[in-house]
Amino acid sequence: MHPKVRSHSKLKLTIFLFHLWLLWNLFMMKGIQLFIALLFLGVCHATKFGDVVESLGSNSIIRINDKNYKGLMNNEDYSIIIFITASDPRIGCTLCSLAMPQYEQMASSYYENLRNTYNSTENSRVRTLEEDGANFIIAYADLAGSKKLYEKLGVTSVPKVFFYKPGRGVDMSQPTDEYRFSGQETPQVFSDWIVKHSEFSNKDLFKIVEKPNYQVIVRNMAITLFLLVVAYKKFDKVSVIIANKRIWRALCLILIILFCSGYMYNRIRGTAFTGEGPHKEVIYFSPSQQSQYGAETQIISVVYALLVVCFVVLMDSASKISDQKLRFFAVLASSLVAYILYGYVVACFKQKSSMYPFKLGIL
Amino acid sequence: MLCTVDKEGYIRVDGRLLAAFKILLKTAIFVSISFAAVSSRLFSVIRFESIIHEFDPWFNYRATKYLVTHSFYKFLNWFDDKTWYPLGRVTGGTLYPGLMVTSSVLYHLLHKFGLPIDVRNICVLLAPAFSSVTALATYLLTLEISDTVKGLRFKKTAAFFSALFMAIVPGYISRSVAGSYDNEAIAITLLMLTFYFWIKAVRHGSVFYASLTALSYFYMVSAWGGYVFITNMIPLHVFILVLMGRFSYKLYTSYCTWYVLGTVMSMQIPFVGFLPIRSNDHMASLGIFGLLQLVLVANYLKRVLTAEKFHRLMIASGFLVFTLGIAAIVVATKVGLIAPWTGRFYSLWDTSYAKIHIPIIASVSEHQPTPWASFFFDMNFLVWLFPVGVFLCFQDLSNESVFIIIYSVLASYFAGVMIRLMLTLSPVVCICAGLCLGRICGIYMDFRDEISAKAQKSASRVFSLVSKLLVSASVIFYLYYYVQHCTWVTSNAYSSPSVVLASKLPDGSNTIIDDFREAYYWLRMNTAEDSKVMAWWDYGYQIGGMANRTTFVDNNTWNNTHIATVGKAMSVGERESEVIMRRLGVDYVLIIFGGLIGYSGDDLNKFLWMIRIAHGIWPDEVDETKFFTRDGNYRVDDLASQTMKDSLMYKMSYYRLSEAFGGSDPVDRVRRQRLSRPYAESIHLDVLDEVFTSENWIVRIYKLKDPDNFGRDLVSIGEENLAGKSRRALRKLTRTKPDTQLNLL
């Protein structure tokens, strides 16, 4: 018999025996023996996944950029999921800013689960999970600092979530699967989507853990405590401030003016500060009546505040200013300024709603 | 003598005459304000006709008709078997009856007087009629407030201004044009009335006014779900007054009277039931009720005990209350009675949380945040007079102006978060703007000093005359512009019934697209009275109201599974869909198709929602991605995905569309896609018969075929027929061909 063939068949026999042993283990469900067997398997594979997880430290998510993508994508032993986003407000991707925290929460709870299983048993437990397709790297990429990566990925629009099977990350422009956004992403939706791609993996790893943000809690408690102490020690001064009508008045007026000039819209929608016109110029007023830019709220709220000042002057000048001439000029100036400012508001509105037929005077 | 000329040249008029003249003038102003309020809401009646608008009003209208013809108790026990077939809906227990009761009372009253007015006309004109009452209530409320604001010389002027603003402010008109027969139509009136009585009660500490507050609160609860605003507004007012150290027996009397009476009365509404003692929306009012008792006891003890003892007692009891409260919260949370740290708790304050975690809030356009342009659009110059009015309220912080301040801040926050709540903001904006203009008028429109003979130095007289003229001219100009703006907004934005569409022809002339009513009327006249019509839920109320036929799902979206069933029937192929439709008992299928005329709100554009909702219940059977082409486009032409082409909705929409285009390729004008003619001709339906298509093809109605007499599958019969037809056609062609050739030869 040819020696080469013989050795080959010997190898085959070994593998066969090994598999038999594995099966027996599975059958008996002896935890420790299975563990050792899997450990054996794990050692056989590259240990890269463990390295990546270790390199993560206590961070909640891995960021891929131009520097590290080659190493991360070029692998054989783990699946990779990338959330591709552009957080720059100039791009104005609302869906990105909505979905990113959800994705991040999913990722952090995944790594948390992973670490817990890693720490609870011996160090090598992570490797025991390293069956094909069973271990995942959850990462994200932001446009800033990853221009080259985005070119390689062939991304033309954001957000996207790409999934690569082990070994498929080399061919970056062709992900194994792509997530389809519905606009109603929750961490659970993302993790369900990932679980769909992992027949082998431990589903418990993708359980979403809502961990309380201790940092915020401690900070809030400290602030409350501090305020309470201050209030107790300096009760007289604090009560003077609290009972001060002017402070409350200013607060209420500012709040009302802000709310009425669309502040909450910006908060909720996370609008861009300015927009870009057809010739790449900066525009401050969005052309539609249904939307707005952040700058609009600032401009309009300042104009409203000035209008309020003008009318307050008109109302109070009669009693506050005793000098006839001064009073006359105050009235004259404030009514003229009010007229011009109001005309400006109307002009801004007319710009946003083209059908609007009215305008004020010169403006 | 009623009037005399005295020595100095002044005309002295008798007091009685003056009083009579004042009343006459006031009445005249009120009549004209009411006239303005009503007439500016009549654009849609004049342009179209007296018709109920949109969707929800059709249900209210139908319920009103039921109430008018049946007794009140029957109405409360009404089980509607004409909707949600075969489940039905416990309608009497799931609606706010206030609106219907109001119009039925009006109906019976008018009939008593011998004015036989149709129910429909009462329903259409109810909102404009109530808007003039709102103006009156705003007048009264502002008058109460202005009594307590310093430096207002002409209190009635301010009140009249706010009534005028309220009458025509677009933010309120948007919900109260003639024909929008919805709960908000009377709710704002009741809101203003309740607040008026509340202010009265607080001022006088009167049980009478507090009871009136409770009564109008009860009316409000019966009319609109937004009553929660009052339920939280009044306790907040009381709480802040207590914090400011303004606790008084007046406050105590009015709050306790209102709370007890109002809560007990509100629990009489079947739909509200035990909510006032269970839901956390009502917990604030309960808490304040308890707090007031404690404050009362403390007040009493303060009088009885010495200062030192009282101080010690306060510290001890404060500590006790604090620990007990914390313990109670912890225990209740552990037991599971309350869940204060859940998403609902956060969504009140963190709006982005609500947006992400409660998708229904994110999806409905009425829950969108408000950009500044909408504020300006709905309130014009009131938007910046509003803070000036609040400034005025701060000058003399009376209990009443504190109320206005709280109302302003809260309502402007809510209006900023949700565009729909502009409705609750507009009244307070009108009140504040009225106060401000009243003040301005008191200063600058009073020319008595300048005209009077007792002149001062000429220079100062000229100065003050010029400044007065300038300010009053600009204010009058702003007012004129306000009226123009409101009229334009009402006429252009808020007066479309959406049941009847107006459109412009290429030559500029107006036409009216009346397909909806045409189709509903066809249903009413040509189908059996007990036939069941399947349509997407948007049209449920309209079919019930206009066609009087049984529907499967409607705008009261209480049963998601049922909606998903209809969605599935629309989105799967004919064979599967037939099974679903037979099980449901469908007789007719109604769809909206805008492709021919370019009406974008049609069913194919809503189709994705049907698929998504069906997907939520049957994830394996309906898959959204399959309805898109491979490159992820939503196509309806020849390149559409096969699942799309097979779906019932698609087939019903494009069936026989090619015939409308003569020989050329049919074009879908909404989705701007062109179907090739042979393909469009090949779209066929086997289980449905087309029975009606409206003039502009907007509404298409199909009838489910009866099962085959021999028990054969309808789809295979259809396919056989199609094949047979083509065979026959082929045979005919081969047979006739020689003939023609012969003739030619």
Q: Which of B365, B372, B485 to mutate to test the interface with A (most CBs of A within 10 A)?
A: B372
Question: In whole angstroms, what is the distance from residue B285 CA to residue B298 CA?
Answer: 20
> Which residue of chain B is at minimal alpha-carbon distance from A266?
B371
Task: Clarify whether residues A138 and A104 are in a common domain.
Answer: yes
d(CA B543, CA B62): 11
pLDDT for position A308: 94
Same domain, A173 and A271: no
Which whole number is the average pLDDT over A220-225? 89
In this prediction, residue A119 carries a pLDDT of 62
Structure tokens at A287: 């052309």
Half-sphere exposure of A103 (CA within 13 A, CB side): 28
Work out the pLDDT band at B263, boundaries 50, 70, 90.
very high
Strand pairing report for B532-534 and B588-592: parallel
* CATH classification at residue A136: 3.40.30.10
Question: Which residues, other chains included, contact B173 with Cβ-Cβ below 8 Å and sequence gap of 6+?
Answer: B40, B41, B131, B486, B489, B490, B494
- Are A28 and A50 in the same domain? no
Name beta bridge partners: B591. B700
The CATH code of the domain that includes B603 is 3.40.50
Give the pLDDT score at A31. 47
In a domain, B325, yes or no: no
Answer yes or no: is A63 within a domain: yes
* Average pLDDT value for residue range B371-395: 92
Q: Examine the pLDDT at B256 and tell me if it is beyond 50.
A: yes
Interface test with A, best of B149, B365, B384, B412 (most A CBs within 10 A): B384
What gap in Å lies between CA A303 and CA A305, rounded to an integer? 5
Question: Which residue would you say has higher pLDDT here, B533 or B348?
Answer: B533
Claim to verify: residue A125 and residue A268 sit in the same structural domain: no
What's the whole-number average pLDDT of chain A?
75
Tokens of B548: 């009087």
Work out the average pLDDT over A43-52.
Answer: 53
Contacts of B390 in chain A (CB under 8 A): 252-253, 256
Contact B237, B273 (CB under 8 A): no
Looking at the 3D structure of chain B, how many domains does it have?
2
3-state helix, strand, coil in chain A (%, to 5): 60, 10, 35
Dihedral sign for Cα atoms in the order B495, B498, B500, B506: positive
Q: How many domains does chain A have?
A: 3
Helix, strand, coil percent values for chain B (each to nearest 5): 65, 5, 30
Band the pLDDT of B741: cuts 50, 70, 90.
Answer: very low
Residue B371 included in any domain: no
**Dist. CA B156–CA B163, nearest whole Å:** 10
pLDDT of residue A54: 66
Domain presence at residue A215: no
A13 and A57: one domain? no
The lowest-confidence range among A53-57, B136-140, B581-585 is A53-57
pLDDT tens-place string over residues B510-554: 788 888 999 999 999 999 999 999 998 888 899 998 988 999 988
CB distance from B470 to chain A under 8 Å?
yes
Check whether A38 has a pLDDT greater than 50.
Answer: no
pLDDT > 80? residue B688: yes
Q: Is residue A305 one of the residues assigned to a domain?
A: yes
**pTM of the predicted protein model:** 0.78
Q: Is residue A139 part of a domain?
A: yes
Set of chain B residues whose Cβ sits within 8 Å of the Cβ of A180 = 624-625, 632
Residue A126 lies in a domain: yes
Q: Tell the residue number behind the tokens 């991360």, with chain if given.
A: A72
In the structure encoding, which two tokens stand for residue A68, read together?
A: 């590290």
- The predicted pLDDT at position A50 comes to 67
Same domain, A168 and A117: yes
CA–CA dist B141, A5 (Å, integer): 102
Rounded Cα–Cα distance for residues A330 and A313 (Å): 7
Q: Touching check for B392 and chain A: CB below 8 Å?
A: yes
Contact A255 B413 (CB under 8 A): yes
Shared-domain flag, residues A3 and A51: no
Residue A320 reports pLDDT greater than 50: yes
pLDDT band at A304 (very low <50, low <70, confident <90, very high): very high
Separation between Cα atoms, residue B163 and residue B128, nearest integer Å: 15
Nearest to A84 by CA among A157, A185, A184: A157
Q: Which two tokens stand for residue B5?
A: 């000329």
Q: Alpha-carbon distance B409 to B417, whole Å?
A: 13
A167, amino acid identity: G
Domain that residue B674 falls in: 523-706
DSSP helix/strand/coil, B306: coil
The tens digit of pLDDT for each residue in B217-229 reads 999 999 988 888 8
pLDDT of residue A3: 46
**A contacts of B386 (beta carbons < 8 Å):** 256, 260
Q: What angle do CA A7, A9, A10 make, to 5 degrees?
A: 60
Is residue A358 domain-resident?
no
pLDDT in tens, A70-108: 777 777 777 788 888 877 766 667 777 777 877 888 888
Asked if A311 and B408 come within 8 Å (Cβ–Cβ), the reply is: no
Query: In terms of domains, do A29 and A93 share one?
Result: no
Asked if B517 reaches chain A (Cβ–Cβ under 8 Å), the answer is no
Q: 3-state SS string over B379-432?
A: HCCHHHHHHHHHHHHHHCCCHHHHHHHHHHHHHHHHHHHCHHHHHHHHHHHHHH
Measured distance CA(B602)–CA(B607) in Å, rounded? 9
The stretch B468-475 carries a mean pLDDT of: 91
pLDDT tens digits, one per residue of B691-737: 999 988 999 999 998 888 888 888 888 888 877 776 666 555 555 54
Contacts A–B by Cβ distance under 8 A: 163
ipTM of the assembly?
Answer: 0.84
Q: Which residue has the tokens 């489940």?
A: B87
Of A180, A263, A328, the CB nearest to B467: A328
Domain membership of residue A217 (yes or no) is no
Nearest to A89 by CA among A266, A350, A228, A311: A266
Residue B122: the pLDDT is 93
User: Does the structure show a pLDDT above 80 at A279?
Assistant: yes
- CA torsion sign for B51, B55, B57, B62 is positive
- Residue A223 in any domain: the answer is no
Residue B474 reports pLDDT greater than 50: yes
- Cβ–Cβ gap A315/B392 under 8 Å: yes
Please check whether residues A283 and A180 belong to one and the same domain. no
Of A308, A315, A324, the CB nearest to B384: A308
Q: Are residues A149 and A298 in the same domain?
A: no
pLDDT of residue B384: 92
Sign of CA dihedral B704, B707, B709, B711: positive
B660-665 LR contacts (CB < 8 Å, sep 24+): B660/B596, B660/B697
β-pairing, A62-64 with A136-142?
A: parallel
Measured between CA atoms, the residue of chain B closest to residue A285 is: B373
Q: What is the pLDDT of residues B399-434, one digit of tens each?
A: 999 999 999 999 999 888 888 889 999 999 999 999
Whether the pLDDT of residue A312 is over 80: the answer is: yes
Q: Considering only CB atoms, which chain A residues are within 8 Å of B362?
A: 183-184
Q: Which residues in chain A are closer than 8 Å to B626, comparing Cβ atoms?
A: none
B149 touches chain A (CB under 8 A): no
The pLDDT score that the predictor gives to residue B65 is 92
A230: helix, strand or coil: helix
End-to-end, the C-alpha distance of chain B in Å comes to: 117
Q: Which residue has the tokens 């007319």?
A: A350
* Residue given tokens 């990566």 in the structure block: A149
For A121, the domain range is 46-206
Q: Is residue B115 part of a domain?
A: yes
Residue B129 forms part of a structural domain: yes
Does residue B648 form part of some domain? yes
A314 and A170, same structural domain?
Answer: no
Q: What is the pLDDT of residues B186-212, one digit of tens each?
A: 999 999 999 999 999 999 999 999 999
Task: Report the C-alpha gap between B325 and B340 in whole angstroms.
Answer: 14
| Interchain CB contact of B387 with A (< 8 Å) | yes
One domain, residues A178 and A98? yes
Quickly state the pLDDT bin for B133 (edges 50, 70, 90).
Answer: very high
pLDDT the model gives residue B657:
87
Cis amide bond preceding A159, omega within 30: yes
What distance in Å separates the CA atoms of residue A81 and residue A191, rounded to the nearest whole number? 11
User: Which residues pair with residue B674 across a beta bridge?
Assistant: B667
Compare B576 and B10 and report the one with higher pLDDT: B576
| 8 Å CB contact of B373 and A268 | no
Pairing of strands B501-504, A136-142: unpaired
Do B375 and A183 lie within an 8 Å CB cutoff? Answer: no
The SS3 assignment for B742 reads helix
Cα A251 from Cα A71, distance rounded (Å): 54
The helix/strand/coil state of A82 is strand
Q: Tokens for A226, please give them.
A: 């501090």
Rounded-to-integer distance, Cα B430 and Cα A25, Å? 80
pLDDT for the residue numbered B502: 79
Provide the pLDDT for residue B257: 95
Reported as a single tens digit per residue, the pLDDT across B46-60 is: 988 888 988 889 999
Can you tell me which residue has the tokens 């196509």? B635
Instruction: Label residue A23 by pLDDT band (50, 70, 90).
Output: low
Q: Which of B327, B349, B371 is the last residue of a domain?
A: B349
Higher pLDDT, B321 or A362: B321
Does A268 contact B492 at a Cβ distance shorter than 8 Å?
A: no
Helix (H, G, I), strand (E, B) or coil at A75: coil
pLDDT in tens, B640-683: 888 888 999 999 999 888 888 887 888 888 888 888 888 888 88
* Half-sphere CA count of A346, side-chain side, radius 13 A: 21
Average pLDDT, chain B: 86
Collapsing DSSP to helix, strand or coil, A67 comes out as coil
What pLDDT score does B234 carry? 94
Do the domain assignments include residue B132?
yes
Query: What's the N-to-C CA distance of chain A in angstroms?
Result: 102
With the C-alpha atoms ordered B525, B530, B536, B540, is the resulting torsion angle positive or negative?
positive
> Which sign, positive or negative, has the C-alpha torsion A146, A150, A153, A157?
positive
CA B655 to CA B603: how far, in whole Å? 14
Residue of A nearest to B360 (CA): A184
Q: Is residue B213 part of a domain?
A: yes
Name which of A186, A190, A213, A260 to mutate to probe chain B: the one with the most chain B Cβ atoms within 10 A of its Cβ.
A260
Rg (CA), chain A: 32
